[in-house]
Amino acid sequence: MKDQKETDLTCPECGKEHKVIRYERIVGNTQPELKSRLLKNELFRFKCEGCGLELPMIYPCLYQDVEKGYMVWFVPASDKEQLDKIAAFNAESLVDDNYKNLNKQYKLRIAVSVNGFIEKLLILDEDLDDRAVEVQKVMLVSQLGQTGKYRNDKVRGVFFEMVRQDDYGYTVLFQEAGPVSFKLDMEQYYKISLRNRQLFDEHMPEGFCVIQEQWAIERFREIVKDSMSKKGKRRRKA
């Protein structure tokens, strides 16, 4: 796989010709500048030097951090062909010794949106368990839906954010109220992460996989079911 590809792009607004670079593979440890541009969402945007028009420029990109031990493959959700390639790669990695170890050495993730891609990097860079983060997001949405002033608002998305070093939060995007920031409850995060490690491990697909809302909702349901049955048992004992 070639790391960078230069392509021609003509501005649809003013017709100015550009040479743009697509960074299809980035190693964060040796390419800190590219990493920082990625985190600022500069790699997936085209800005015309002639008229200033800005457009999203979406292409698959494999990001790797060899020290932290993770890889995130960004593939736009609409890129069926590329997703098929990853599925094939996963199938191969199960039987090929060269790839088999990847599963052990690396956390392997797929991101299907630019925001989701950046978010994964932020989470894994902080050595946080992205599985616990995703479950905590589901819990937060569930809590917001039950009480408080956002009870009747619809949640359109939740994103992890770095407030500052060791200080994290979630931005919840409400339909009516717009984006609202909530502090990340670290104690709750650790509880989720430590108590459910086995459950999470049991539900990890092999190879590159999407760990997002859908995966987290399923785990959340299992956690709730488990705690209800424990409560039931305690009640019967009493």
| 14 binds Zn ion, rule: CB under 5 A | yes
Residue 217 in the binding site for Zn ion (CB under 5 A): no
Shortest distance, CB of residue 227 to Zn ion, whole angstroms? Answer: 56
By CB under 5 A, the count of residues binding Zn ion is 8
**CA distance linking residue 18 with residue 46, whole number of Å:** 10
Quickly list DSSP for 171-184.
Answer: EEEETTTEEEEEE-
**Secondary structure of the chain: what % helix, strand, coil (to 5)?**
45, 25, 30
Q: 15 or 178, CB closer to Zn ion?
A: 15
Site string (51-80) toward Zn ion, x via CB under 5 A? x-x---------------------------
Q: Does 50 interact with Zn ion (rule: CB under 5 A)?
A: yes
The stretch near Zn ion (CB under 5 A) out of 3-11, 21-29, 104-112, 215-223 is 3-11
Asked if 14 and 46 count as a contact pair (C-beta separation under 8 A), the reply is no
Q: Quote the crossing angle between the two packed helices 32-39 and 114-125, to the nearest 10°.
A: 120
Smallest distance, Zn ion to C-beta of residue 50, A: 4
Provide the token pair at 14.
């003013």
Could you say whether residue 13 binds Zn ion (CB under 5 A)? yes
Residue 12 interacts with Zn ion (CB under 5 A)?
Answer: no
Q: Which residues bind Zn ion (CB under 5 A)?
A: 11, 13-14, 16, 48, 50-51, 53
